[in-house]
């Protein structure tokens, strides 16, 4: 005949399994973070390998995490289209575990984009009469939900328009007006 202790433990087993399943499945219902373009800035010159020289444009995206737990942006990929016709690839991989976004907060994620120097000069020639250069940023982010369970979800999207100030490109290139 089983002891009272063993019977009680066996009765608790389904309840414990339900609690464990809820803990694991709960984070799987990740509410989609919303991403909105904030601005872009020219932050300097980028020297790459193989030998290349570019202007470093940083696209700043506001990401709101509506969840009750932290999530991390692991990567952002897509494209920036400058002046309606020059397409620059975006392939940002966050260092370490990613950029962690606190629960129920908006966090800025900075995404670097390299603009070849020859294209930067072309943009300056084409926009002599305008103080700004329009761009469109469209991309997708890969997100990890919760630090504990590390559930991964991909393809959270952003598609937005903005402008970068022409004088920032001039300054980075050392161009005088």
From first to last of its 177 residues, the chain has per-residue pLDDT tens of: 555 555 444 444 344 333 333 333 444 456 778 888 999 999 888 887 777 789 999 999 998 999 888 888 899 999 999 999 999 999 999 998 899 999 999 999 999 999 999 999 999 999 999 999 999 999 988 888 766 555 556 567 889 999 999 999 999 988 755
Q: What is the pLDDT of residue 29?
A: 56
Which helix (DSSP H) or strand (DSSP E) does residue 120 occupy? helix 117-126
Q: Please, what sign has the CA dihedral across residues 31, 32, 37, 43?
A: positive
pLDDT of residue 3: 56
Alpha-carbon distances of 64 from 8, 25, 60, 81, 90, rounded to whole Å: 45, 22, 13, 24, 21
Closest CA to 136 of 174, 87, 64, 71: 87
Rounded Cα–Cα distance for residues 48 and 116 (Å): 10
Cis peptide before 50 (omega within 30 of 0): yes
For position 151, what pLDDT does the model report?
59
Nearest Cα to 115, choosing from 41, 165, 171, 55?
55
| Whole-number pLDDT of residue 174 | 86
């Amino acid at each position: 005949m089983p002891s009272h202790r063993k019977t009680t433990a066996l009765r608790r087993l389904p309840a414990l399994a339900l609690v464990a399943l809820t803990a694991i499945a709960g984070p799987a219902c990740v509410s989609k973070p919303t991403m909105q373009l904030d601005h872009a800035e020219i932050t300097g010159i980028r020297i790459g390998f193989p030998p290349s020289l570019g202007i470093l444009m940083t696209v700043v995206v506001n990401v709101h995490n509506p969840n009750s737990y932290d999530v991390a942006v692991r990567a952002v990929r897509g494209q920036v289209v400058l002046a309606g016709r020059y397409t620059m690839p975006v392939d940002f991989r966050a260092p370490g575990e990613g950029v962690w976004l606190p629960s129920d907060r908006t966090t800025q994620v900075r995404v670097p984009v390299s603009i070849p120097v020859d294209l930067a000069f072309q943009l300056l020639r084409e926009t002599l009469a305008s103080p700004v250069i329009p761009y469109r940023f469209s991309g997708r982010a890969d997100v990890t939900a919760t630090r504990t369970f590390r559930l991964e979800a991909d393809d959270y999207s952003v598609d937005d328009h903005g402008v970068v100030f022409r004088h920032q490109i001039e300054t980075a290139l050392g161009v005088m007006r």
